[in-house]
Each structure stands twice: as C-alpha cells, then as structure tokens.
Amino acid sequence: MSTLLPAVDKPGSSLNTTTVTTSENAIMPPDTPASDATKKDLRFWGIFASLCALSFLAALDSSIITTALPTITKDIGGERQYIWIANSFVFATLAPQPLFGQIANLFGRRNPTIVSVLLFVLGSGLGGGAHNVAMLIAGRTVQGLGAGGIYVLIDVVCCDMVSLRERGKYLGFMFSWAGVAALIGPVLGGAFAQANWRWIFYINLPISSVALVAIVVFLPSRQVTSAQHAFQRLDLIGNAIFIPSMVAILFGLVMGGVQFAWSSWRIVVPLVLGGLGWIAFHIHQASSFCKEPSVPVRLFSNRTSAAAYGLTFLSSIIVQQITYFLPVYLQAVKGSNPLQAGVQFLPFAGCVLFFAVMAGTLLSQTGQYLPLHFAGCALSAIGFGIFTLLDDGSSKAAWVCFQIIAAGGSGLIMSVLLPAAMAALPESEVASATAVYSFLRTFGYIWGVTISSITFNGQFDRYINDIQDPDLRSQLAGGGAYAFASKQAVQRLPEPTRAQVISIYVKSLNAVWQVGIALSLFSFLLVFVEKHIELRKELETDYGIHDEKQRNVGEGEQGGK
C-alpha cells in the first residue's frame, strides 16, 4: 500500500519521500496498484539475485588469493611484495566505504553500483593479465575499490527494496553467499593455482557481467539532486582526512608483527598519525565547517544505534577469530592437511549461514532483535568457553558440536544488527548508516586477525622454551607457528618434540579462545544498552523499485538546502 508523506527538508535528507505502508487498512491513491510496493516480482528477484552474486564475488576475492600467492609470486615475481599483493585489496576496500555511502545519497543507487562493478571487473582483468608485480598490485587495488563500493551499495539497495522489518531475512540470504565465498575461497585459490592462477581473477568477469546486466535492466535510475549540485555537496575535505588516516592505521595493523616489530617506529608512527587523523575527521564531521558530513554525528545520537554499531565491530572480531584459528587447531593439533581442515570447518561455516537466515526470518516475523542479540552473544561466549576444552585427544564429535554452538553465536546476530542500527534512524539516513555498518564490519575483520595473532604469537613465544630443539624454536618464534601449522610438519616431528609443540599450540589457542570469551561477554553486556524500538513495516524511500515516477530534482529546487 502506498501513500505520499510531506517532504522533510533538512541536511542529509531526501525530498519527496514516498512511504509504502503494508497495513491492510492503509488508504492509497487510486492510481497506485496495491501490490506495487511489496510484491516480489521478476524485477525484485532479478535485482536481489544480482546483489547475492556481487556479495559472493566481493567476499571471494578477499580470501581466494591467499593459498595461491606462492604460485603467483613464483610466476611473475614479487616474493618480497607478497604482503602488498594480498592487502592492497583490503586497503582499497575499507577506506572509501563512508564516501560510497554519501555518493549513494547524492547520486542515487544505480549509477554508483554500476561504476563499482565496472571497477571490480577492470581490476579483475588487470590482475588476471598481470605480467609483473606492479600491474598485479594495481589490479588488486582497483578491484578493492570496486569491492568497497559493492559492500556498501548492495546493502543499501537491499534496504531500498524491503521494509526495516523484513531486512534481516534478506540480509541473511546475502550474507550466506558471502559466507560460502569465504569458505571456498582458499580451496578455489589452491585449485586455480595448480591449474592456472589467472582464473582467480578471470572467474569474476562472467559472473560480474551477468550481475551488471541485471542491475542495468532492473534497477531504476533515480537521483534526488542534479549531478552538479551533488558534486558540490560531497564531503571532500572529510574524506581527504579519513581515507589517508585509515590507510595509515591499516598499514600498522597489517605490517605489525609481520614485517616490523610492533615497537618499531615504522608501525607506531602510522598508527598514531592514523588515530589522530581519525579523531580529526570526527571533529570535522561535527563542526559547522562540514555542511554535508559523510558520517553524520546523528547516526550515533541514540543508544540503540550506537550499541548496534559496537556489536557489529565486536561480532566481526569474534567470527574472524574462529575463522582464522580453528583451522590452526585442526591442522597443528589434529594433524589435518589444509583441504581436510577446510572440510572439517564446514560445521561452523555452514551453520553460521543457517543461523543467520533463521535469525533474519525470526526478526521479520516477530520484530524482536534484542532476544536474538542476547542469544547470539551468550552462545558465542559458551562456544569460546568449550573451545578451551579442545586438545589433541578431543573426539570428532566434540569439535563438530562445539563448532555448531559457536556458529549459533555468530549467526544469530550477523543479519539482525543493521536493522537494529536503523531502528531509531529515519530512512533518509539509510545510505550513510549502511556505509558506517559496512565499514565497522570490515574493520572488525581486520582487528579480529590482528588481536588474535598478537595473542597467539605472544603465548607461543612465552612457552617456546619448552621445545628442546633450538632450530625448531627459531623456526616457530616470532609468528612462524601460524604458517608452520599448515605445512603438516607438526605430525612429522619426532617424539617428544611433537608432544611439546602440540602442547604449546593448545595453550596458545586457549589464549585466543579466552579473548573471545571476554569479547563475547562484553558484547552481551552491550546489548543491555539497546532498547526495543518497533521496526517499521513501511518502506520510506526515494529509491523504491516499483514507483516509476521520476524524482530528479533540479538544481534550482535544491538551492535552498
């Protein structure tokens, strides 16, 4: 059902907002079909299928290259630049995400999505055709820029298609495809490395092309202001502060403990400068000098949205701890090879997707997100707690069941955080709010690897003198234990050295799990900060997919803003 509400003229809002009411008793204009706003027709499913495909590809490319890096660098060189080959994608993906949110507000959804997909395709083509390391890094960077836009825009477009009450269900489906990609990425990367590593990049071209055609055909082109006025409203100064600051922080987090010690000035200086720049960015956003902030302070002005954003960051750290270090247990302690560990990790990966879809469906039916948040955080704490029981004598039934419980913790909360963050915010903020959510989720993944690695490596170095072999101690110290786990070298060690090494792996992993317990319990307490807010069953947006009326607003109409 559809009725028109008066326009609200304020910074960051859109004019001529159309409200779509799903109530059976709502009165609608006679020229508006009853099912236009809510029907799931060919256009809806065409767009949604393309969003799922893009979600899959963007997630796939963050993980597929890891297992193929040795083969790639052997072919085209760049052994010393392998970190940049892997992480140029991450840098380019994360830093511009708030900018993409503002671009979606000012330029509409369709054209920015098309540009993001084209950048992703261009980067994939450059990467696949690379004949030297510089071209490969350039391709990965362009690819990452496209993926950053995709991360933000697919969530924004999904929010434009369904009401807040329904979003958890559809976001859960989209996250499921991203989860599948993260699961199979390393396996696919290894397979392509053996056949032809260039297909790691070329595989994106046909799938992206199909998704791009669907976007062009089905997604309406709507813009609430003229292009010239939109450019004038971009927060260029804010992003000129924010993006370099994020790159500096990412440099410190990625390089720290790998290429340089955490105490090195090469790590400390970027982290400090990046942190100061981040603070300066938020001061600028709140000041009168910033007329059109890309991250408005009002997004954090209510406790429910602020807590939901905090939970987004923490839940991403938690899921990454499990994703990176449970395979270490399976390989180093249980003796599995990388392929076997990937299969043995399926209970967690598969059940996360199941619980995410289930939580989204429950949210759509009940409108209650607080019980799902409480249950997810509690199960996460329990999951990490029982992980501390794992050792070399643990049965298959034990580590499979433990994974399922932990998956419930991560999955129940994954798809119901963005609706909670949006509950107290107007629909005019959907693009900015979604960009912040996407940024914090991606940033949390990076912190999940960093925090867990620092914990694991620190504990391993603490107990490393328990190993009698001095050469092996040298090989495992300073972060070498993580890579050593995937080489199936632990099981080939003679006794008692093998038992000594496994014991240290178990102790070091227990420290990681204990950090996970602490983060999960803190997340549980953070849920108390949230309050229940009724999720809107109405869809208020200028970018609905069924209302064909043009809303392009001329520059003269916007001049008073």
Task: With a cut of 50, list the residues of the chain below it in pLDDT.
Answer: 1-37, 548-561
Burial class (CB in 10 A: 0-12, 13-18, 19+), 3: middle
Measure the CA angle with vertex 408, ends 53 and 522; round to 5°: 110
- Rounded CA gap, 74 and 457, in Å? 28
Q: What is the dihedral of CA 116, 119, 121, 126, to 10 degrees?
A: -160
Nearest Cα to 345, choosing from 355, 334, 356?
334
Q: Does one domain contain both 47 and 106?
A: yes
End-of-domain residue from the set 178, 202, 227? 227
Instruction: Retrieve residue 286's tokens.
Output: 């709140």
Residues of 402-440 as b/e, b for ≥16 C-beta within 10 angstroms? bbbbbbbbbbbbbbbbbbbbbbbbbbbbbbbbbbbbbbb
Mention every residue, 6+ apart, whose C-beta is less than 8 A from residue 436.
98, 101, 295, 299, 309
How many other C-beta atoms lie within 10 A of the C-beta of residue 301?
11
Burial class (CB in 10 A: 0-12, 13-18, 19+), 44: middle
Q: Does one domain contain both 12 and 146?
A: no
Q: Is residue 298 part of a domain?
A: no
Per-residue confidence (pLDDT) for residue 547, from 0 to 100:
54
Q: Does one domain contain both 354 and 210?
A: no
- Rounded CA gap, 507 and 499, in Å? 12
DSSP letter (8 states) at residue 545: S
Upstream peptide bond of 496 is cis (omega within 30 degrees of 0)? yes
Helix residue ranges per DSSP H, 77-203: 82-94, 97-107, 110-128, 133-161, 164-195, 199-202
- Rounded CA gap, 199 and 188, in Å? 10
Side chain identity at 288, as an amino acid letter? S
- Rounded CA gap, 130 and 136, in Å? 5
Q: Does one domain contain both 214 and 319?
A: no
Q: Is residue 386 part of a domain?
A: yes
Per-residue confidence (pLDDT) for residue 21, from 0 to 100:
37
Per-residue confidence (pLDDT) for residue 181, from 0 to 100:
83
How many other C-beta atoms lie within 10 A of the C-beta of residue 283?
12
Q: Does one domain contain both 9 and 80?
A: no
Domain span including residue 219? 41-227
Instruction: Retrieve residue 551's tokens.
Output: 């809303």
Q: Does one domain contain both 70 and 11?
A: no
Are the CB atoms for 119 and 146 separated by under 8 Å?
yes
- Rounded CA gap, 423 and 431, in Å? 14
Give the 3-state secondary structure percentages of the chain, helix then strand then coil, rounded to 5.
70, 0, 25
Q: Is residue 299 part of a domain?
A: no
Q: Does one domain contain both 125 and 8?
A: no
- Rounded CA gap, 549 and 233, in Å? 24
Q: Looking at the 3D structure of the chain, how many domains does it have?
A: 3
Q: Is residue 27 part of a domain?
A: yes
- Rounded CA gap, 12 and 428, in Å? 7
CA 118 to chain centre: 20
End-of-domain residue from the set 201, 227, 253? 227
Q: Does one domain contain both 24 and 66?
A: no
Determine the 3-state secondary structure of 350 from DSSP.
helix
Measure the CA angle with vertex 373, ends 369 and 377; round to 5°: 175
Helix axes 97-107, 133-161, angle to 10 degrees: 50
Q: Is residue 360 part of a domain?
A: yes
Side chain identity at 351, as an amino acid letter? C
Q: Is residue 308 part of a domain?
A: no
Instruction: Retrieve residue 290's tokens.
Output: 């910033």
Helix axes 430-463, 303-328, angle to 10 degrees: 40
Q: Is residue 496 part of a domain?
A: yes
Nearest Cα to 358, choosing from 372, 374, 378, 379?
372
Are the CB atoms for 142 and 119 separated by under 8 Å?
yes
- Residue 66 φ then ψ, to 5°: -60, -45
Following DSSP, what letter does each residue of 52-103 receive, concatenated?
Answer: HHHHHHHHHHHHTTTTTHHHHHHHH--GGGHHHHHHHHHHHHHTTHHHHHHH
- Rounded CA gap, 66 and 425, in Å? 39
Nearest Cα to 440, choosing from 149, 86, 98?
98
Side chain identity at 104, as an amino acid letter? A
Q: Is residue 435 part of a domain?
A: yes
End-of-domain residue from the set 202, 227, 252? 227
Q: Does one domain contain both 70 and 180?
A: yes
Q: Does one domain contain both 185 and 60?
A: yes
Q: Does one domain contain both 403 and 481?
A: yes
Q: Which residues pair with 4 in a beta bridge?
A: 18
Determine the 3-state secondary structure of 456 from DSSP.
helix
Q: Does one domain contain both 170 and 54?
A: yes
Are the CB atoms for 348 and 179 separated by under 8 Å?
no
Per-residue confidence (pLDDT) for residue 79, from 0 to 100:
65
- Rounded CA gap, 120 and 114, in Å? 10
Determine the 3-state secondary structure of 138 from DSSP.
helix
How many other C-beta atoms lie within 10 A of the C-beta of residue 195?
8
Write the CATH number for 407.
1.20.1250.20
Nearest Cα to 378, choosing from 527, 509, 515?
527
